[in-house]
Structures are given as structure tokens and as C-alpha cells.
Amino acid sequence: MAGGVGLKIGIVIRKEQNPKLREALEAIKLWGRGKSTQIIYGPESLLKKCDVLVAVGGDGTVLSASRIACGKEIPIAGINAGRVGFLAEYGIDEIPVVLNALSKGTFKIQDRIMLDCSLYLKNKKILSRTVLNEVFIHAHAPARMVNLEVKINDKFLTEYWADSLMLATPTGSTAYNLAAGGPIIYPAAEAFVLNPVNPMSLSVRPIIIPSSCACKIKCVQGSTAEMVFDGHFTEQLNDKSELLICRSRHITRFAHTDDSGFVQALREKLGWTGKMKSGPSRT
């Protein structure tokens, strides 16, 4: 993407104000002084018309930006003004470098797959969501387990009895999936993971599925569950409806100033130093 006069950079910010967020917004304001690049602050109708988006906050803010960009393929850069996150990869001190790259069009693009989630009732689609991170299915009632039947490409896989079940993209593999013992998937991989959280059967483990596959999920008769899409939208699943999950034709595009984003994040944010910590010698 070429930069230049008339380029529109949209700023997506988290709702909760904190000193880091105010510092980041001040740095963006300072960078924009005297430049021809337009800095746009919401609403969504204006942000959807921008050339690039800068999400300022945490990973949740980046997910909000991905919803805005969905179908438009607007590149997104994440600035971390909250907790440690994989998607909001740049620090506040890097804002001038990021904005310079965006304004000049010298950034690199990395495409991430998304998942289409369609809910059917009596073969009629009644709901459709597209997610970048994950679909999370948990019991409708507190302190209960889910009982779910899962098919892959219309072939019966198993019946899960677990605290919850999630399907995560490579992007979402470093979020709740990682905390729940699931595998990390490299961002460019054409796959997603099906991860039962605390299953009753010890033999049940997460499974990585090619993105070309379709996954169907329904509640076992008499049970209900709640579906959460990218931590934002919540809908009910029951034994009369069926959730179909497959790779979306839409993608999320991330803007990077170099090629080291994900590899560097693994080292720095997970503490992968490659060195054993020193300690007292054994005798």
C-alpha cells in the first residue's frame, strides 16, 4: 500500500481510560502535527473508510478493530496501552516508528485466517458471526459442564463432556487456548484448534484441524450452552440448533514494521530465553 497525501489512519481505542492510553494518544497527536496524513477518531462508519487502523489498548481493542475491518481488509497495527498481549505488539515508545511506516506505506502485511460461525435451526440460518480469535462454548448455568456432539466434515468425532469447549484460530491460539493447555499455532498456518477445557475423559486432548474442514457442534439432547464470539457476542446453543464453523473468506490483515513480530513475541512475552536459570548446584 502506498502512503502519501490524503492517507487516512483510523484510531481505535479502548473505552477504559488509563495513563498509558492517554500517553499513547498524546504521542499520536504529537506525531500528526504538521503532517498531511489524516488521523481519524471513530465512529465506526468513518473508521471503515480509513486506509489503515491503529488499535490502541490491548488485544481486545485489536479484536474490535478486526470487526471494523472485516470485509474491508484494512491493515491493523496494535499499540499496547494495557496489559501484555500478542496482538497489540508495539509499545508506546514505538508509535512514531509505526506511524511513519504506515504513512509511507513501507510496512509489511501478514494475513490471518478468520472463522465463520453460523447457527442453524431446522436447517435455517438464524445467526452469523465472524471471529479472529475464538469461539468459546460454556454451560448456560453456573458451575455446570457442557455436553456437546462434534462432527468434522459431517463425520462424528466425539461427544464432549467438559467445563467448556473452544475453537481457536492460529491468532487465538495464544489467548485463552494457551492458558487452557492448548497448542500454539504459527500465525500463517491454515488450521484451527478444537480444545476441550477440563474434559471428564483423560484421553480427550486438543486437536488441530485443517482450515479446509467444517466443524458442526450441537448440544446433546436436553442440554443448553452459551456461545461467546471473540469475547464480545454471546448467544445460546440448544439441542434443537446446530453451530457450523468453517474458514471464512474474510481475513484480518496485520501491519508490521518488520518480519519479527510473532517470533519476538514468543521470546519476550512468554519469556522464551533459551537459557536455563541458574540456581544452587545439586550434591
Category of 98 on φ-ψ map: left (φ > 0), alpha (ψ -120 to 50) or beta: alpha
Given this model, what pLDDT does residue 1 score? 53
> Is 59 among the catalytic positions?
yes
At the topology level of CATH, where does 114-250 sit? Tumour Suppressor Smad4 (2.60.200)
The pLDDT-based confidence of 259 (bands split at 50, 70, 90) is low
What pLDDT does residue 4 have? 55
- Model pTM? 0.90
pLDDT for res 258: 80
What average pLDDT does the segment 209-224 reach?
95
**What burial letters (b/e) apply to 121-156, b meaning 16+ CB within 10 Å?**
eeeeeebebbbbbbbbbbbeeeeebbbbbbbbeeee
pLDDT at 15 over 50: yes
Tens digit of each residue's pLDDT (9 = 90 or more) over 168-211 = 999 999 999 999 999 999 999 999 999 999 999 889 999 999 99
DSSP 8-class letter at 122: T
Residues of the chain above pLDDT 70, percent:
93
pLDDT at 275: 63
84 compared with 124, residue with greater pLDDT: 124
Q: Which of 59, 111, 116, 258 does the annotation list as catalytic?
A: 59
Band of pLDDT at residue 17, cut at 50, 70 and 90: confident
Start and end residues for every CATH 2.60.200.30 domain found in the chain: 114-250
Reply yes or no on whether the pLDDT at 10 is more than 60. Answer: yes
Cα Rg of the chain, angstroms: 21
Q: What is the pLDDT of residue 11?
A: 98
| Mean pLDDT confidence for 229-243 | 93
Instruction: State how far the alpha carbon of 254 is from the alpha carbons of 109, 146, 169, 214, 262, in Å.
Output: 6, 34, 15, 25, 11
What is the location of CATH 3.40.50.10330 in the chain?
A: 8-107+257-269
pLDDT of amino acid 7: 92
**In the predicted structure, residue 277 carries a pLDDT above the cut 60:** no
* pLDDT one-digit tens code per residue, 57-90: 999 999 999 999 999 999 999 999 977 678 998 9
* DSSP run (H or E) holding 233: strand 233-238
Q: Answer for the pair 217, 137: CB distance below 8 angstroms, yes or no.
A: yes
Chain-centroid distance, C-alpha 259: 19
**283, pLDDT greater than 50:** no
Superfamily of domain 8-107+257-269: Probable inorganic polyphosphate/atp-NAD kinase; domain 1 (3.40.50.10330)
The yes-or-no verdict on residue 14 having pLDDT over 90 is no
